[in-house]
Amino acid sequence: MVGLATVFGAGGGTSSYAEIEEADVVVLWGSNARNAHPIFFQHVLKAVRRGARLYVVDPRRSETAQWADLWLGNHVGTDIALSHTIAREIIHAGLANTDFIGRATTGFDEYLATVEEWTLERGEAVTGVPADAIRELAHAYATADRAQLCWTLGITEHHNGVDNVLALINLALLCGHVGRHGAGLNPLRGQNNVQGGGDMGAIPNRLAGFQDILDPDVRERFGSAWGVTIQDRYGWHLTQMFEAMERGDLRAVYVIGENPAQSEADKEHTVELLRGLDHLVVQDIFLTRTAELADVVLPGSASWCESEGTVTNSERRVQRTRKALDPPDGARDDIQIILDVCRRLGHDWQYGDTPRDVAEAVWDEVRSLSPMHAGMSYARLEELNGIQWPCPHDDRLEPSYLHGRLWADDPAERGRLAPFSPVVDDPPVEGLSEAFPLRLTTGRRLDSYNTGVQSGGFSNPLRHGESIDVSPEDAARLGVVDDEWVRVTSPRGALTAPVRIDPVLRPGLVFMTFHFPEQVDTNVLTIDATDPKSGTAEFKAAAVRIEKLDV
Ligand SMILES: Nc1nc2c(c(=O)[nH]1)N[C@H]1C(S)=C(S)[C@@H](COP(=O)(O)OP(=O)(O)OC[C@H]3O[C@@H](n4cnc5c(=O)[nH]c(N)nc54)[C@H](O)[C@@H]3O)O[C@H]1N2
Ligand SMILES: Nc1nc2c(c(=O)[nH]1)N[C@H]1C(S)=C(S)[C@@H](COP(=O)(O)OP(=O)(O)OC[C@H]3O[C@@H](n4cnc5c(=O)[nH]c(N)nc54)[C@H](O)[C@@H]3O)O[C@H]1N2
Ligand SMILES: [Mo]
């Protein structure tokens, strides 16, 4: 989101799922959508069945890659190098969209100078992807009318994740694949309402509708609606919070629906910091590992199917969620708990009697303060089965794609042009060494969800436990076999796990999920190097060694 907001001013995917289905070329970059975004992947498959070509860029030949027309298996952390090589090939083949570049972008010359050294030969040597494959993707992407570039954590969970995203945005600017029906740039959001959380201002620098906290008019409008004074400085994002805990500047934390004791990188250090707080409050539907450390647990909040509200997905579509089940005895909507806390803090905000009334009244307040949501009444959301933002008017809808203004003939209408970003190749913080010769990347499997809180604890026949996945070549070299327990060590910690030999991995690359805390704490191994621009940790690149256990 930071990358898209930097270039275009708005942090959201630029297309709709319907446009994905109409695409000629779909590139999934660092995304295992087959497993992690199965519903979105159905839209991709509809395009493929229509004849679209699917390209997947992923160091592993993931299940998604197995569906692709062409898989580009790059080395972990070489995505900027790959993007620059593709760009240079597009430019030298005369396929750059000079009309769009001239009309809608700035900084092309500097960008050109940055990518010029990335010949196909150099690209192949650095990324490990054969030059022919790079050339094919470059030509297919540049010549397609409707090209969609989508990415997820393989791009963002690096110490330079934002630069990685900027490198992909450069490709779309180069080819004019943004701001038109059918062409776009789409980060797929992790949870059902991550997009909605950001849109509502659950980020350190913006209030609802991405309005800048540093803007005095914005502070004044929100402040008078709420009867409070809003601070005129940015807050901390998650990793800055942990840094502040380390310095002793952050002493109390209120966690709602997150399990950082399990999901943060360098876990032992994280738990130490959470333990050291003066006051920790956790509001969750389960008693998580984080809740076990808390001074106060606000338990039994109603889950999504037991409460009213909205969620916003990766195509920026706001959709109503309705109460389908009664919550268990004593459980309440998160919003009721939050309103009670507010009351104790001196703000007796009344929104209505029933959960439905409260949810709608809160939403109407959002619409009164956030112009991009203004036209989305509950009645209209229900009638249209969800609406994409922006929707400022209650009598019409905007196009399903963003940034159409960039194509306008009138420069005044075009507004702020989109800058190319001359980012540079920057390998993972932790290099490989004799002591730690293997690259560990971590991610997801279809059968489980994040820290396992919501997908464990009951009998789930699909779910099989954690493993350290290694290539057949590495398994042979280490003399280990399937299901044999080994020790995995990184500079931060060690654990034991069973081996799973997986041919989707190439020699030197090993893979783990982080879904099975009762069995293995994967984040004991990961590095807490973070991208200062987004606060995201480098979960995708640690260095480890694997040793046989003494028999
Ligand atoms: N079943 C299931 N679905 C989920 C989740 C879950 O836990 N389980 N979690 C949800 C959440 S919160 C999120 S954020 C999304 C995440 O969705 P994804 O980002 O698709 O999931 P990951 O498996 O973390 O990572 C995707 C891929 O990045 C690749 N990768 C690793 N390093 C690199 C690199 O340097 N370059 C490139 N190009 N690729 C790399 C990995 O091999 C992996 O296949 O999934 C959501 N959906
Ligand atoms: N090694 C490694 N670590 C990673 C990642 C990785 O790829 N590799 N990925 C990172 C990413 S992308 C993410 S998103 C994080 C995920 O990390 P977390 O968000 O910490 O993990 P979850 O297991 O999704 O935790 C969500 C919590 O919300 C609670 N919950 C669910 N519904 C409700 C509700 O309605 N109300 C309330 N109050 N609580 C609710 C659940 O019970 C659960 O405890 O992990 C990060 N950590
Ligand atoms: Mo996520």
Cβ of 371 less than 6 Å from ligand 1: no
Choosing from 188, 242, 263, 332 the residue with most ligand 2 atoms within 8 A of its CB, the one to mutate for a pocket test is 263
Confidence label for 518 from pLDDT (cuts 50, 70 and 90): confident
The 3-class SS string of 66-101 reads HHCCEEECCCCCCHHHHHHHHHHHHHHCCCCCHHHH
Cβ of 190 less than 6 Å from ligand 2: yes
- pLDDT surpassing 80 at residue 11: no
Give the mean pLDDT of 482-510.
97
Residue 485 CA to residue 357 CA, distance in Å, equals 55
**Domain 2-187 falls under CATH 3.40.50.2300:** no
Cβ of 540 less than 6 Å from ligand 1: yes
Confidence label for 161 from pLDDT (cuts 50, 70 and 90): very high
What are the strands, taking DSSP E only, across 165-242? 184-187, 206-207, 211-212
How far is the centre of ligand 3, averaged over its atoms, from the C-alpha of 446 (Å)?
14
Quick one: which atom of ligand 2 is closest to the CA of 265? 3
Pick 438-548's CATH classification: 3.50.50.60, 2.40.40.20, 3.40.50.2300, 3.40.50.620.
2.40.40.20
Cβ of 204 less than 6 Å from ligand 2: no
- pLDDT surpassing 70 at residue 457: no
- pLDDT surpassing 70 at residue 206: yes
* pLDDT at residue 108, as a whole number: 98
How far is the centre of ligand 2, averaged over its atoms, from the C-alpha of 276 (Å)?
22
Quick one: which atom of ligand 2 is closest to the CA of 298? 38
Torsion region of 494: left, alpha or beta (phi above 0 gives left; psi -120 to 50 gives alpha) = beta
Query: Where do the structural domains in the chain lie, given as residue ranges?
Result: 2-187, 194-235+300-388, 250-294, 438-548
- pLDDT surpassing 80 at residue 340: yes
User: CATH second-level architecture of 194-235+300-388?
Assistant: 3-Layer(aba) Sandwich (3.40)
Kindly state the helix (H) or strand (E) to which residue 104 belongs, with its residue range. helix 98-104
Cβ of 67 less than 6 Å from ligand 2: no
- Residue closest via CA to ligand 1's atom 2 equals 36
Could you give the 3-state DSSP secondary structure of residue 221?
helix
- pLDDT tens track for 278-332: 999 999 999 999 999 999 999 877 788 898 999 999 999 999 999 999 888 878 8
Q: Which of 291, 296, 243, 248 is nearest to 270 (CA)?
A: 243
Cβ of 381 less than 6 Å from ligand 1: no
Cβ of 441 less than 6 Å from ligand 1: yes
Output the six-digit token pair for 200.
């509502």
- pLDDT tens track for 416-427: 999 999 999 999
Confidence label for 239 from pLDDT (cuts 50, 70 and 90): confident
Ligand number nearest CA of 536 is 2
Q: Which of 219, 132, 192, 152 is nearest to 13 (CA)?
A: 152
- pLDDT surpassing 70 at residue 53: yes
Choosing from 61, 149, 156, 444 the residue with most ligand 1 atoms within 8 A of its CB, the one to mutate for a pocket test is 444
- pLDDT surpassing 70 at residue 382: yes
* pLDDT at residue 136, as a whole number: 98
Residue 499 CA to residue 469 CA, distance in Å, equals 6
Cβ of 83 less than 6 Å from ligand 2: no
* pLDDT at residue 42, as a whole number: 97
* pLDDT at residue 458, as a whole number: 66
- pLDDT surpassing 80 at residue 463: no
* pLDDT at residue 551, as a whole number: 63
Residue 349 CA to residue 226 CA, distance in Å, equals 9
Sign of the C-alpha dihedral computed for residues 6, 12, 15 and 17 taken in this order: positive
pLDDT > 70 in the chain, percent: 99
Residue 35 CA to residue 40 CA, distance in Å, equals 10
Cβ of 155 less than 6 Å from ligand 2: no
* pLDDT at residue 546, as a whole number: 98
Give the mean pLDDT of 190-208.
93
- pLDDT tens track for 121-141: 999 999 999 999 999 999 999
Cβ of 539 less than 6 Å from ligand 2: yes
- Residue closest via CA to ligand 1's atom 17 equals 36
114 vs 354, more confident: 114
- Residue closest via CA to ligand 2's atom 23 equals 451
- pLDDT surpassing 80 at residue 226: yes
